[in-house]
Structure 1
Amino acid sequence: MTTIGVITRGKYGKRLISNLLTRTDMKVLSAEVPEHLPDFIDEPEEFLEQVAMDRTVFNAEIVITYSLHPDLTPQIAHMAGRAGVRALIVPGGASKAPVQELKRISQEYGMYIEVEDICCTLSADPAICEFTDKLSRPLLEITTHEGKVAEVKVIRGAPCGSTWHMAEELKGVSLKDAPAKAGLLIQQYPCRAVRGNKGGIHESAQLHKDAVLKAIEKAALKK
């Protein structure tokens, strides 16, 4: 059984833990960093000792850190590498993490590190495939009846759980309207992705819209 370590910060990461426990058979370890952090942390290792972050979170094959702080994240990466963690996933994008420094840490420990704005665009790298086979870019199977969506089966969904919410709400929607409705449902879901720009929640909405369209086309071919 694959063990996933999740480092939370306030509300960030808690929905992922819930979905890991309810949607997968993976074991979950968790630790937290304070929700409110100083803008600059000169001694991140000492800081993490002071806040008593639970280091057992690194007894995992894959760690996902929602530290969302350019000073703390590299230190967490070093700790993960020293503990033998196979892969580190860093949500929040380059604005929250020093990408070049993380690349050097990745090479130092032979640890796969992926920095992503949104977790439903994670790559299908072998280092994290146990995670991304279940939680990443949406993949659906749709059953239709009389021009409407009869059932939506989520093969793979967004780590925040938005895909399952969308799937339930699409039942009974006309096939013509379903893709656009899917995108709207994702944007209405309380995902933590950034809003107000071209990426973030809007990218997630487009991914789900495309997934619904592909599933409908595939269902049509079966008839």
Structure 2
Amino acid sequence: MKARPPGSAQPPPTRITVFQEKNSGREKIAGINEFGREIEFAQIININDALPNLIDDPESYISDRIEGDLVLSFLKHPDLAEYLVRVCNSQKIPVITAGKKIPGAISPFTCCGLGRHQGLGHYGEQFGFPEFEVITADNKIVSLIVKRGASCGATWEAAATLIGKDPKEALQTIAREVQYLCTADPAAFDPISGKSALHYAGEVHFHALQKALRGTGAIKIKN
């Protein structure tokens, strides 16, 4: 993660605590480390135990005191995931449970489906629904800056492959590039949108690039 320049008057880093099972959040942690700015990990709590189907004592796995400004939950066991949200709510710490809808949590379908919410600090500014700033010249993309993207890092990696392409070709390929890199569960399905996680990730990146290209006036794209 990139450090704040000396003497900067920016707000302090956002401190994040991660809960995961058997390193289930490792790709997101790596992406945040590589592409995040002004973010620190307060704790990374990894549960490696073989878990029973029913957990009567979730407090034996999760402390009732959590550090940090924001919690990212990659817990798969419903008893643990729901208990963690209750603890976070009691401490008024926002908690994100991407791909798992839990009352009291912010629950985007994928990490790149996170909208803008108050209280998420630098994480919410940098990660979620993708946003691009694009420069074209001679009908080629010469610069594609990721202003906001997926915490797994797929947005930045896909953007790098589009430099030098003409805008229409870039639009035709960005979804495929993102889907190739996407770490979401390919079996995940959103009943509201009717899309799989991979399809959804590709689509939100397509629309983000389309919006950025429209803003340049270099290409006119019909809806």
| TM-score past 0.5 threshold | yes
1:24 paired residue number: 37
- Which residue of the other structure, out of 183, 197, 202, is the alignment partner of 1:200? 197
Residue aligned with 1:116, SS: coil
- Hey, what's the Cα distance between the residues in 1 that align with 2:29 and 2:66? 15
**Is 2:95 the counterpart of 1:88?**
yes
**Is 2:126 the counterpart of 1:155?**
no
Which sections of structure 1, spanning at least 5 residues, go unmatched?
A: 104-112
**Is 2:24 the counterpart of 1:7?**
no
- Hey, what's the Cα distance between the residues in 1 that align with 2:140 and 2:169? 9
TM-aligned CA deviation for residue 43 of structure 1: 2.5
Preserved contact between residue 118 and residue 193 of structure 1 (Cα < 8 Å): no
1:145 paired residue number: 137
1:76 paired residue number: 84
Which range moved further: 200-209 or 185-194? 185-194
2:10 paired residue number: none
- Go from structure 1 to structure 2 and tell me whether the alpha carbon gap of 1:58 and 1:134 turns closer, same or farther (over 3 Å shift): same
**Is 2:130 the counterpart of 1:122?**
no
- Go from structure 1 to structure 2 and tell me whether the alpha carbon gap of 1:57 and 1:162 turns closer, same or farther (over 3 Å shift): farther
Which sections of structure 2, spanning at least 5 residues, go unmatched?
A: 1-12, 190-194
- Hey, what's the Cα distance between the residues in 2 that align with 1:147 and 1:195? 38
Preserved contact between residue 58 and residue 80 of structure 1 (Cα < 8 Å): yes
- Hey, what's the Cα distance between the residues in 2 that align with 1:86 and 1:58? 9
Residue aligned with 1:91, SS: coil
More helix by share: 1
1:63 paired residue number: 71
Which range moved further: 11-20 or 160-169? 11-20
- Go from structure 1 to structure 2 and tell me whether the alpha carbon gap of 1:149 and 1:30 turns closer, same or farther (over 3 Å shift): same
| AA aligned opposite 1:27 | E
Which range moved further: 60-69 or 9-18? 9-18
CA distances 1:94-144 after superposition (whole Å, capped 9, x unpaired): 3xxxx3xx34xxxxxxxxx21222121112111225322101110001111
CA distances 1:152-172 after superposition (whole Å, capped 9, x unpaired): 100011111000011101111
Preserved contact between residue 38 and residue 122 of structure 2 (Cα < 8 Å): no
> How does the TM-score come out when normalised to structure 1?
0.80
Q: How many correspondences in the alignment?
A: 200
Alignment of 1:47-58 (within 5 A): 48=61, 55=63, 58=66
TM-aligned CA deviation for residue 221 of structure 1: 6.1
Identity %: 22
- Hey, what's the Cα distance between the residues in 2 that align with 1:209 and 1:42? 44
2:47 paired residue number: 33
- Go from structure 1 to structure 2 and tell me whether the alpha carbon gap of 1:35 and 1:219 turns closer, same or farther (over 3 Å shift): farther
- Hey, what's the Cα distance between the residues in 2 that align with 1:69 and 1:35? 11
> How does the TM-score come out when normalised to structure 2?
0.80
TM-aligned CA deviation for residue 80 of structure 1: 2.7
CA-based RMSD of the aligned residues comes to 2.3
